[in-house]
Amino acid sequence: MEEIQKRRNKSIAFRLGNNYLSKKTAAIHLEEKHGYVLNAAQKRQLKRLEWRVYLIAGIVGACAVLVVIFPFHFSHLLDAQHLNFFGYEFDAELYYMAYAVVMIFPEIWLLNILNLYAVRRICEIYRFPSSTNKDYREQVALLTEAGLEMPARHMQLLEINPYIGLTKFSYYSLLIGTKLRATLSNVLMKFLVRRLLGRYALRIVTDLFGIPIFAFWNAWASRGVMKETRMRIVSNATTTDFLHDFSIEELKQAESKLTLLVHFVAQQKRQYNFALYAFVKGLLEKVPDLNLKHTDEVKIEELFGSDSNENRLVARLLIFGLLVDGTLSVKERLTIRKVVKEDWFPLTMEQMDAILKSYVEGEGLKKF
pLDDT at 131 (0 to 100): 85
The pLDDT value recorded for residue 177 is 62
| pLDDT at residue 45 in the model | 95
- DSSP-based helix, strand, coil % in the chain, nearest 5: 70, 5, 30
Mean pLDDT of successive 10-residue stretches along the chain, which has 368 residues: 74 91 87 68 94 95 88 77 73 79 87 95 90 87 90 75 75 62 60 54 68 86 92 89 91 90 90 87 91 88 91 95 92 92 93 93 86
Q: How far apart are CA 4 and CA 202, in angstroms?
A: 49
Confidence at residue 135, expressed as pLDDT on a 0 to 100 scale: 84
CA dihedral 10, 220, 105, 5 (to 10 degrees): 0
- pLDDT of res. 182: 57
Quote the pLDDT of residue 34: 47
* CB environment 231-256: b (16+ within 10 A), e (fewer): bbbbbbbbbbbbbeebeeeebeebee
| Eight-class DSSP state of 218 | H
Query: How high is the pLDDT of residue 109?
Result: 93
Of 322, 217, 314, nearest to 273 by C-alpha is 322
CA 135 centroid distance within chain = 23
Whole-Å CA distances, 170 to 166, 175, 182, 313:
6, 9, 19, 33
CB within 8 Å of 26: residues ≥ 6 apart: 131
Q: Which of 204, 218, 217 is nearest to 69 (CA)?
A: 204
Residues whose CB is less than 8 angstroms from the CB of residue 119 and which lie 6 or more positions away in sequence, other chains included: 21, 143, 144, 146, 147, 225, 226, 229
Task: Report whether 25 contacts 131 (CB < 8 A).
Answer: yes
Give the model's pLDDT for residue 356. 94
The dihedrals phi and psi of 85, each to the nearest 5 degrees, come to -120, 100
pLDDT of residue 283: 92
CA distances from 280 to 74, 113, 198, 238, 368 (A): 56, 32, 55, 12, 19
